Amino acid sequence: MTAAAKDLDLSVLPPEYRAAFEAQAARVAELEETNQRQEHLIAEMHHALYGKKSEKLNEDDRQLAFEDLEVALAEVEEKKSEQVPGDEKPKRKRVAKRNRGNLPEGLPRIEQVIEPDSLECPCGCGLMHRIGEDRNERLDILPAQCRVIVTVRPKYACRTCTDGITQAPTPPWLIEGGLPTEGAIAHVLVSKYADHLPLYRQSQILARSGIDIHRSTLADWVGVAAFHLRPVVDRLAEHLKTSTKLFMDETTAPVLDPGRGRTKTGFLWALARDDRSWGGDDPPGVVYFYAPGRHGEHAETFLTGFNGILQIDGYPGYNRLTRPARKGGDPVIVAHCWAHARRKLKEIFDRDGSEIAAEGLRRIAEIYAIEKDIRGTRPGQRLSARQTRSDPLVAAFGDWLQAQRLRISAKSRLGEKLAYIHRHWDGLQTFLTDGRVEIDSNSVENLVRPIALNRKNALFAGHDEGGRAWGRIASLIETCKINGVEPFAYLKSTLGAIAADHPKNRIDDLLPWNFQPST
């Protein structure tokens, strides 16, 4: 609320005017916040371009920095347009002029003629006749094929009277008046976040086909898509957090820091559900949350509303989730990962062939052999087998662990590895008390590998905002993949549904596991 608005005495206004004033003031405050974010992003872009000579980036670094800054700016602009009532919306410059009218003539063109519902003259004079048409060309992208969709909307008028012209309305587009179809946008998203192609490389690939689409234009498309897909990802996260058992892991997401001319370390936190190993009814899914650091408070924020068992590695940042004072829910029960415990011993064995490490590995292998036997059975059967067969082995391992810690110096490398297992001993036994719990967190580790591949190919995100868009779109793509859904088909369909004003109360229909490909 502005300073002038705060000085007004609203009590003197009639209730209906007071409510309207408060609603308008809230909208102004929201717009001011959006403007501040936009100004901040523009300032960062200018700093990256015109900063001190020592802070200037090389050409490749600048491309990545501008790419994600422009994605963020496009998302802010889309948010601003959504905040303004329909009759007040300004005409937003959706596509750079340099990309208009230069679609190669050799590209295949598919005409979609959209006729009005009726050609009857409103005055009853008979059928209208065609007097012209409007044509729009949008770039559509199919895998390994580019084409131009030409939308033709004939105009009809009556020969007898001059009471009006009939023409079909323009079909809904995600980017109104823009160049790309929803299929083209989906292709760019899959190429960037699944195939690990930065936008400037995609621009180069298109140029080889004679299509001059600048990287900044592609960034605009991604930003608009990221804005409109956010409610779907938020709903996906809500759905996952209704479960009582989830996996969580985090991986680095290097982010460019233009002020210092180098990268800083951000993190993508993966929150996943995968109950397939025991035949759970809930579909698998994953959401990647971006945070500028690895502090446990980020995990606490991302897990707001979740109560139950969390399967994790040994990172101590998760310890705050088990405290009675945990924010956002009850203290979680942690299930630690036996694969991590095994790796500690494997490191020692590979280094010096330790017989103690070899014995630990043998004991863990016996526990894993039981897990292999019961994989795919129902939780009750898994729990019964574990209590009967695994519990004695785990107890014996615990006794062996304590005996070795008394023999080995705590400062030795082996002593440090044994101490690690000891610190997480309670969590390593959680799988013995619940048949739904896995013996390790390998399921979520497999889901952070695509992030690592993208990191390797794209090197880093260009901005914190780019890290958030990265996590958001990767969430949908990876959830598609683990549900056997083709990501391009899903994103094309979902973006088309959003463009057509898909009802907000049916957002669950847009979740990846509910996608039904057209036949």
DSSP 439-473: SS-HHHHHHHHHHHHHHHHH-SBSSHHHHHHHHHH
Q: 501 pLDDT exceeds 70?
A: yes
Q: Give strand pairing partners of 255.
A: 264, 461
Let me know if residue 340 belongs to a domain. yes
Query: pLDDT value at position 54?
Result: 36
228-248 pLDDT per residue, tens: 999 999 999 999 999 999 999
* Shared-domain flag, residues 34 and 115: no
Alpha-helical segments (H) within 51-94: 59-83
Which run of H or of E encompasses 139?
strand 129-142
Query: Mean pLDDT throughout 512-516?
Result: 95
373-390 pLDDT per residue, tens: 999 899 999 999 999 999
Please indicate whether residue 447 or residue 511 has the higher confidence score (pLDDT). 511
Query: Mean pLDDT throughout 332-338?
Result: 96
Query: pLDDT value at position 447?
Result: 84
* Shared-domain flag, residues 82 and 113: no
Residues above pLDDT 70, as percent of the chain? 84
Query: pLDDT value at position 19?
Result: 72
Domain of residue 333: give its range: 244-448
Query: pLDDT value at position 95?
Result: 47
Which of 99-108, 120-129, 447-456, 505-514 is modeled with the greatest confidence? 505-514
Query: Mean pLDDT throughout 423-442?
Result: 95
* Shared-domain flag, residues 319 and 440: yes
Q: How confident is the model at residue 55 (pLDDT cuts 50, 70, 90)?
A: very low
* Shared-domain flag, residues 26 and 110: no
CA distances from 480 to 223, 484, 485 (A): 21, 6, 5
* Shared-domain flag, residues 277 and 361: yes
Residue 351 is which amino acid? R
66-75, 156-165, 177-186: range with lowest mean pLDDT:
66-75
CA distance 440 to 442: 6
Give the list of residues 6+ apart from residue 125 with CB closer than 8 angstroms, or none.
158, 159, 160, 161
Let me know if residue 199 belongs to a domain. no
Give the end-to-end CA distance of the chain in Å, rounded to a whole number. 52
* Shared-domain flag, residues 158 and 52: no
Short-list 104, 101, 97, 94, CA closest to 219: 94
Q: 102 pLDDT exceeds 80?
A: no
Number of domains present in the structure of the chain:
3
Let me know if residue 131 belongs to a domain. yes
4-8, 52-56, 127-131, 225-229: range with lowest mean pLDDT:
52-56
Do residues 466 and 71 make contact, with C-beta atoms less than 8 angstroms apart? yes
Let me know if residue 482 belongs to a domain. no
Please indicate whether residue 318 or residue 459 has the higher confidence score (pLDDT). 318
Q: 4 pLDDT exceeds 60?
A: no
Let me know if residue 293 belongs to a domain. yes
* Shared-domain flag, residues 281 and 394: yes
Do residues 166 and 119 make contact, with C-beta atoms less than 8 angstroms apart? yes
Query: pLDDT value at position 366?
Result: 97
* Shared-domain flag, residues 273 and 150: no
Let me know if residue 180 belongs to a domain. no
| C-alpha 364, offset from chain centre | 36
* Shared-domain flag, residues 396 and 265: yes
Give the list of residues 6+ apart from residue 242 with CB closer than 8 angstroms, or none.
none
* Shared-domain flag, residues 419 and 325: yes
Query: pLDDT value at position 519?
Result: 63
Q: 77 pLDDT exceeds 90?
A: no
pTM summary value = 0.77
Let me know if residue 258 belongs to a domain. yes
Which of 56, 88, 120 is where one domain is finished?
Answer: 88
Q: How confident is the model at residue 92 (pLDDT cuts 50, 70, 90)?
A: very low
* 240 three-state secondary structure: helix
Supply 148's token pair: 């131009």
Q: What phi and psi, each to the nearest 5 degrees, are found at residue 86? A: -55, -40
Residues above pLDDT 90, as percent of the chain? 55
Which of 88, 122, 139 is where one domain is finished?
Answer: 88
* Shared-domain flag, residues 301 and 425: yes
Query: pLDDT value at position 35?
Result: 76
Q: 407 pLDDT exceeds 70?
A: yes
* Shared-domain flag, residues 337 and 442: yes
Query: Mean pLDDT throughout 467-478?
Result: 90
Let me know if residue 478 belongs to a domain. no
CA distance 228 to 156: 35
Which of 69-78, 143-152, 244-253, 509-518 is modeled with the greatest confidence? 509-518
**Rg (alpha carbons) of the chain, rounded to whole number:** 29
CA distances from 370 to 200, 359, 367, 385 (A): 50, 18, 5, 8
Which of 118, 142, 172 is where one domain is finished?
Answer: 172
- Computed over every residue of the chain, the mean pLDDT equals 85
Q: 169 pLDDT exceeds 60?
A: yes
